[in-house]
Amino acid sequence: MRRFFISSHALTTDGAQISGPEFHHLRHVLRLDIGTRIALYDERGTTYHGTLTHLAKDHAEVRLTDTLPPSAPTFRLTLAQSLLKGSKMDLVVEKATELGIHTILPFFSDFTVARIPSAKLAERVARWRRLAQAAAKQSGSPLPKITSTMSFETLLHSLPSHAVKLLCSEREHSIHLKAFVQDFPNLDAVWIAVGPEGGFSSQEIERARAAGCTPVSLGPSILRSETAGISAVALCQFLWSDIQFPPLP
């Protein structure tokens, strides 16, 4: 069954309307017809099954038959990813979404190489949100929250009190990420930060430590930032998540 994203505002009493790019995909790419069974999912992670009942010029109408509430993930993973050059940030957003990330916090730090003019930042975040929407649609994973970009200082001032807070550092040689499973076998939230191509500065690592973050190693090799971001999400999900995505229809 094909999946389409809708805003929860597009829901009516027993149905929904699909418009915009999702309607274009349904009507002109997939050429679905009235009577076709489809699945819808919204920004809250709720999945709906329904039947196409009407195809207008600019929207489709769906009669909903089932509603599957979001499987309440008992594990919420937040990735704080330093801005990266070119399409590397796109790659991290897409792969982290496929892996079930809950929140992505794009930030810039002392050695961030990517230079995005502030006038373009909002557009870049909108692009990452579109990429995440497409990745969630393809993979069936929940749609992550992607915040606006922020400075490293702002990031440290917004640390969640209840989550285990980790900072990936290739200069950390005593604590490996997996050591945390012995001490914290069951966690409901992890916040993990990955530095830019130039890495974190020593001052940043000390400020993060003072703010309650623990520098951790992902292994002996020096990974590219995008590799570290994607691996950190995969490892944390593997170590702590038991998230069950709603069964793909």
Q: Is 136 helix (H, G, I), strand (E, B) or coil?
A: helix
10: which residues sit within 8 A by CB, 6+ positions away? 16, 17, 18, 19
Number of residue whose CB is nearest ligand SAM: 195
- Residue 170: how many other CB atoms lie within 10 Å: 17
Comparing CB distances to ligand SAM, the nearer of 35 and 220 is 220
Comparing CB distances to ligand SAM, the nearer of 90 and 170 is 170
Comparing CB distances to ligand SAM, the nearer of 24 and 224 is 224
Comparing CB distances to ligand SAM, the nearer of 179 and 222 is 222
Question: Residue numbers of the site for ligand SAM (CB under 6 A)?
Answer: 168-170, 194-195, 197, 199-200, 217-219, 221-225, 228
Cβ of residue 221: shortest distance to ligand SAM, in angstroms?
6
Cβ of residue 200: shortest distance to ligand SAM, in angstroms?
5
Cβ of residue 126: shortest distance to ligand SAM, in angstroms?
25
> Do 132 and 143 contact (CB within 8 A), yes or no?
yes
Alpha-helical regions (H) of the chain = 20-24, 88-98, 118-139, 152-157, 179-183, 202-210, 225-240
Q: What is the dihedral of CA 192, 196, 201, 205, to 10 degrees?
A: 0
Cβ of residue 43: shortest distance to ligand SAM, in angstroms?
29
